[in-house]
Structure 1
């Protein structure tokens, strides 16, 4: 039979581990948000770079008439990240495409390449 002092010690250790786990999860979530922000900023800067290059070389920027924000989402998606509301910032699986992401990017526009739904990765 476990004595009262042992029970309290076990409870205290459990309480400490639980708090540490919650703190770690909060840190992971904050770091995940920072990574998503950095990736979005990186894509934005890459697009600005490409735009400046195309102006310097005289090449036209042909991106299916997408707004700048949709171009950023498209670039993030091409780099392997979800841009749909439900999964934003999470990694796409290998060879996975997401109909919801494509809808977010193209809306009423038709993409050049049609993607598949989440179902192909299940």
Structure 2
């Protein structure tokens, strides 16, 4: 290999290294922006969840709503799947998912 070819190869290698460094620097800047945006979104998400929880608590206090017991939650799940849970038609499929006042009373009524 001639000295000129060797020198040209070093010059080309230097240009390639500089291009790679420029690309890595750009990727690093993009990564920093993405991480910063991610942190902002996580904080905003946390803040919104806290606000939503406060609204839910306020709504529950104002309506007097309480958490369903496990058994009533199971009945609610069956009702939402289209089945009667009232003693009059228990286990039968609700026609066209029509609401049933008796079922709703069993699930949400005060007993």
TM-score, normalization by structure 1: 0.44
Q: Give the structure with higher Rg (CA).
A: 2
